[in-house]
């Protein structure tokens, strides 16, 4: 698994996306370890086509689902599932069309910033937006990470 190859593949595939979740936290200085890449994607038809095509080449299949069941990675699948937790040949990838605490694609895009990583330029949630998202989900692992993210924000404002 490599976040680098996934991010490079998404950028090379011209997919319009924003990194959210643990990898975005790491980009902001978090020491939290994550095993998957979380992205929010633009639901425009052309972008869905590019994302679906890329995921098909990566043999995307739902995580924690019995192997071998019928599954087609296409635009229809993306449109029908606001959250897809996938295992791919490149690693674990979560694809979301909205982010709780931030909003739909347009809101996510507005609350993101450009960064250089792994030899590509991509977008990540701003630290404030990431904190809002973690707070809104309320999952224990996100609540635990809030202390660190808020400390990082406090360091930036000093």
Q: What's the angle, vertex CA 56, arms to CA 73 and CA 76, rounded to 5?
A: 25
Q: What's the angle, vertex CA 142, arms to CA 65 and CA 97, rounded to 5?
A: 55
Q: What is the pTM of this model?
A: 0.93
The confidence score (pLDDT) of residue 142 equals 86
Q: Which domain holds residue 120?
A: 3-157
The confidence score (pLDDT) of residue 53 equals 97
Is the pLDDT reported for residue 68 higher than 90?
no
The confidence score (pLDDT) of residue 1 equals 60
CA distance 102 to 119: 28
Number of domains in the chain: 1
């Amino acid at each position: 698994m490599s976040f680098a190859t996934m991010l490079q593949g998404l950028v090379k595939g011209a997919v319009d996306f924003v990194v959210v979740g643990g990898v975005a936290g790491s980009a902001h200085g978090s020491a939290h370890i994550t095993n998957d890449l979380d992205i929010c994607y633009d639901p425009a038809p052309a972008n869905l086509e590019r994302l679906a095509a890329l995921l098909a080449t990566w043999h995307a299949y739902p995580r924690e689902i019995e192997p071998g069941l019928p599954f087609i990675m296409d635009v229809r699948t993306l449109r029908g599932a606001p959250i897809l937790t996938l295992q791919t040949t490149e690693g674990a990838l979560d694809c979301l069309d909205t982010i709780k605490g931030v909003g739909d694609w347009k809101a996510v895009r507005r609350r993101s910033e450009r960064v250089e990583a792994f030899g590509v330029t991509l977008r990540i949630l701003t630290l404030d937006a990431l904190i809002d998202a973690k707070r809104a989900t309320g999952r224990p692992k996100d609540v635990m990470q809030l202390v660190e993210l808020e400390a990082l924000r406090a360091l930036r404002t000093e």
